[in-house]
Amino acid sequence: MFNWYHEADRKTRRVFWTCSAGWALDSADAVMYQYLIPLLITGLGITLVEAGQIASANFFAAAIGGWIGGWLCDRFGRARILQLTILWFSVFTFASGFAQNYEQMMALRILQGIGFGAEWAVGAVLLGEIIKPKHRGRALGTVHSGAAIGSGIAALIAGPLAAALPPEYGWRVAFWLGILPAGLIFFIRRGSDDSEIFKQARQRAKDTGQTISIASIFKPRIIRITALASLLAVGAQGAGYAVASYLTTFLGEERGLGTSIAGICVLINSAGGFFGFLVNAYISDRIGRRNVFRVFGAGFVITSSLYLFGPWGGNLYILIPLGFIYGFHQFGIYASFGPYFTELFPTELRGTGQAFAYNFGRAFSAIFVMVVPIVALTFPLSASMAMVAICGIGCALVATLFLPETAGRALHSLADLEHEAKSHG
């Protein structure tokens, strides 16, 4: 599984570790807010619906920031924009710890989302372009395992650590620790870390006078891929967030667990997700990107339903192993986004397309998050989470029926698309 790492040169390894750490800490912040919702409701005097609105606004801001960040990395280079996005989301995560009310937290999370939205896509593009095609799924899938580590870090901070501190400071300290990722900018080299394929495409565009706008991904040759990739991202992320956003609340209200114990349960789920990422990374290059989404999507529906509806109350002897399996599927499905989206979009538009599609999913997954507490006014929270999540997986599976298979395919450019169009024409 790790043969690709032994074959990689020093630059590729450094980029791999930087992207992995960045994605882990990015993911930690993304789920930190979700795990802190019970404390924020008390600390800021907000309602569950208002907490969901803040999460939704953050996702929408991430979509806009990701789209802009992706275009900037196509225009100015992957490494330079990766530095900027890491610094941006770290600073505003830290600032979130100083919020005094609903309005301030809303504003800070919107600003944080702008930088946070671009980090994943820019890092995935950077690594995806320098790794060998036959190893792309393994390398980027392994990077994505950092999301499970990040979720575990968030669960520890938002659970046992926050609970050990005075209620008025626990959630603030959790956000203040979000400044730590800023140190990663010193491990990225602006000029030399960009891939040769990107430098060649950039020079080719300069020589031909070709201009790439932020709306180029909606041109006739690209819009079908943009739309379907966005639908895939909406479905997979919407399903995951519909459950994860309210998991600690569910464990408290319907399973009767305290905040600290609920945090440990979520940590176990994240541990399962870590292995889900690695398994996805291993099989993605073998069975194909589309089949991996289908396998993990089906597994997510089955295991999350058992986790939410099983008649075992707060029995940790059942919840912990079942949560591990559920986390395996929930997190594991994300591992194929990086290699798949890198292969779907041409080099000149890779950052723009990948960032837009993934963050479009993040933004519209906010609708899934927002709908859960509304449905919960009529149904139990567990049923609301499950119904919304199943709708999300359905969207993802539909997208896989119409997207092409790309595993092992060499990365292509706009010139390649034009050549293919002429050949078929």
Has residue 233 been placed in a domain? yes
Q: Does residue 333 share a domain with residue 281?
A: yes
Contact 369, 241 (CB under 8 A): yes
Q: Does residue 322 share a domain with residue 251?
A: yes
DSSP string, 69-102: HHHHHHHH-HHHHHHHHHHHHHHHHHHHTT--SH
Q: What is the pLDDT of residue 9?
A: 80
Q: Does residue 398 share a domain with residue 336?
A: yes
Q: Does residue 233 share a domain with residue 107?
A: no
Q: What is the pLDDT of residue 420?
A: 63
Contact 333, 280 (CB under 8 A): yes
- Report the number of distinct structural domains present in the chain: 2
DSSP string, 108-138: HHHHHHHHHHHHHHHHHHHHHHHS-GGGHHH
Q: What is the pLDDT of residue 79?
A: 81
Q: Does residue 396 share a domain with residue 270?
A: yes
Has residue 130 been placed in a domain? yes
Q: Which of 155, 176, 192 is the last residue of a domain?
A: 192
Q: Which of 159, 192, 225 is the last residue of a domain?
A: 192
Q: Does residue 230 share a domain with residue 187?
A: no
Has residue 45 been placed in a domain? yes
Q: Does residue 143 share a domain with residue 269?
A: no
For residue 384, give the CATH number of its domain.
Answer: 1.20.1250.20
pLDDT one digit per residue (tens) for the chain, 425 residues: 567 778 788 888 888 888 888 878 877 877 788 778 888 888 888 888 888 788 878 878 888 888 888 888 888 888 888 888 888 888 998 999 899 999 999 999 999 888 877 777 788 888 888 888 888 888 888 887 777 778 778 877 877 787 778 877 888 888 898 888 787 777 766 556 777 778 877 777 777 777 778 888 998 889 999 999 999 999 999 998 888 888 888 888 888 888 778 878 887 887 888 899 889 988 888 899 999 999 999 999 999 999 999 888 889 999 999 999 999 999 889 888 888 998 999 888 888 898 889 888 877 887 888 899 889 999 999 999 999 999 999 999 999 999 999 988 888 877 776 666 565 55
Q: What is the pLDDT of residue 2?
A: 66
Half-sphere exposure for 417 (CA within 13 Å, toward CB): 16
Q: Which of 192, 226, 252 is the last residue of a domain?
A: 192
Q: Does residue 382 share a domain with residue 277?
A: yes
DSSP string, 173-214: HHHHGGGGGGGGGGG--TTTSS-HHHHHHHHHHHHHT----T
Has residue 207 been placed in a domain? no
Q: Does residue 321 share a domain with residue 265?
A: yes
Has residue 198 been placed in a domain? no
**In terms of C-beta density within 10 A (0-12 exposed, 13-18 middle, 19 or more buried), how is residue 173 classed?**
middle
Q: Does residue 167 share a domain with residue 312?
A: no
Q: What is the pLDDT of residue 48?
A: 81
Q: What is the pLDDT of residue 425?
A: 53
Cα-Cα-Cα-Cα torsion 38, 39, 42, 47, nearest 10 degrees, comes to -40
Q: Report residue 140 CA to chain centroid gap.
A: 13
> What is the extent of the structural domain holding 73?
8-192
Q: Does residue 169 share a domain with residue 47?
A: yes
Has residue 43 been placed in a domain? yes
Has residue 80 been placed in a domain? yes
Q: Report residue 182 CA to chain centroid gap.
A: 19
- The predicted model scores a pTM of 0.80
Has residue 109 been placed in a domain? yes
Q: Does residue 177 share a domain with residue 268?
A: no
